[in-house]
Amino acid sequence: MLILLSVLGCYNENLPEHDFVGTVVLPRAAATRTVPTFDSTGTINGSTEMTDARFIGPVFLGAYGGIDTTSFSYPHPEMGPVIDPATPGDTFPYGGTSVGRFDFACYNMLACKVVTGRFTDYNDMLDYFRLIGQPIKDFDGNAIQDQSTFQQQCYYYYKVTSDQELSFIGATDFTENANGDFEAPFTMPHTTFNAGMAIWGYMDAPSIDTTSTTANGSFTTCQLPNSYTHNDYNNTYTEGEEVPYALNYPSQYITTGDWVGDGTTFVQKVDDAITVNLSVQYTGG
């Protein structure tokens, strides 16, 4: 019996799936934004430029058959047949992952505006949303002034008793490297390997306007419709979630200001060192 279990434990299915690990690098400019400044009444009175890893939105990474350099104004994964001229072809990724994902941070106004791995604690979040002109408010429109109030709401909403149980605060994904750029490790699990396949991705940059703060902090890769809705007495929370085909139809979600892979990362062997540079900024067109 022990011999049989030993044999079964060593069985190799020879599947082509592998867990690929690597580093994604964003230029310093991707974490540098111009934000509004405010007077004592909260009125916009100017703007200032800042570099901050909190400006880095979710990063979507996929493994693809190749790179298309002609269909768009930026490197893009090769596509399958284009059936409808108004819709791009499916890129058919072999696998994918993200660095940071959308998470609901306890208040309705934060739906689709909070990415994991970007905020160390509640005060970090409170500061960021004040910075972009979107101070965090409760259902009654009262601004949250301190982290204890924020924490109490999160413990109530998620029915938890410690900050470690919340994924939107804690260790940050991106760190500044020696060149002043920002990098983060990634793992792309259970990905089909094909020699020469491309690893490509893009970063969805948050909307930040210096004249109107209405949409500041929002992303094009997050959807509110069809996401989880929680009813709590007379309050309704719609949490938001990633769009379902962010890697299959990336051009549908890449908008002006987003950062795109340079299309030069190809994997020849499963143990290749992988670095993906999201160094191309999409400027429209």
Q: Tally the domains of the chain.
A: 1
Spell out the residues 6+ positions from residue 140 whose beta carbon is closer than 8 angstroms to its own.
none
Q: What percentage of the chain has pLDDT greater than the value 90?
A: 89
Tens-place pLDDT, residues 155-203: 999 999 999 999 999 999 999 999 999 999 999 999 999 999 999 999 9
Rounded distance, CA 216 to CA 237, Å? 20
Three-class SS state of 39: coil
Considering the domain boundaries, does residue 223 fall inside one?
A: yes
Considering the domain boundaries, does residue 1 fall inside one?
A: no
Q: What is the pLDDT of residue 278?
A: 98
Considering the domain boundaries, does residue 255 fall inside one?
A: yes
Beta bridge partners of 179: none
Tens-place pLDDT, residues 15-29: 689 999 999 999 999
Considering the domain boundaries, does residue 10 fall inside one?
A: no
Q: In which domain, by residue range, is 203 found?
A: 16-281
Pairing of strands 59-64, 44-51: unpaired
**Threshold 0.85, pTM exceeds:** yes
Considering the domain boundaries, does residue 3 fall inside one?
A: no
DSSP assignment, residue 258? -
Q: What percentage of the chain has pLDDT greater than the value 70?
A: 95
Q: What is the pLDDT of residue 140?
A: 92
Spatial CA neighbour of 80 closest among 64, 69, 95, 96: 64
| pLDDT classification of 5: cutoffs 50, 70, 90 | very low
| pLDDT classification of 4: cutoffs 50, 70, 90 | very low
Three-class SS state of 262: coil
Considering the domain boundaries, does residue 224 fall inside one?
A: yes
What is the overall mean pLDDT for the chain? 94
Backbone torsion region of residue 182, taken as left when φ is above 0, otherwise alpha when ψ lies between -120 and 50, otherwise beta: beta
Average pLDDT, integer, range 143-152: 97
Cα end-to-end distance, the chain, whole Å: 66
Tens-place pLDDT, residues 30-68: 999 999 999 999 999 999 999 999 999 999 999 999 999
- Give how far the C-alpha of residue 63 lies from the chain's centroid of Cα atoms, to the nearest Å: 17
Rounded distance, CA 228 to CA 133, Å? 27
- Give how far the C-alpha of residue 118 lies from the chain's centroid of Cα atoms, to the nearest Å: 10
Q: Taking each helix axis as running N to C, give the angle between helix 147-158 and helix 122-131, from 0 to 180 degrees, rounded to the nearest 10.
A: 110
Considering the domain boundaries, does residue 205 fall inside one?
A: yes
Considering the domain boundaries, does residue 51 fall inside one?
A: yes
| pLDDT classification of 11: cutoffs 50, 70, 90 | low
CB 114: neighbour CB atoms within 10 A?
A: 26
The larger pLDDT score, comparing residue 284 to residue 94, is at 94
Q: What is the pLDDT of residue 10?
A: 54
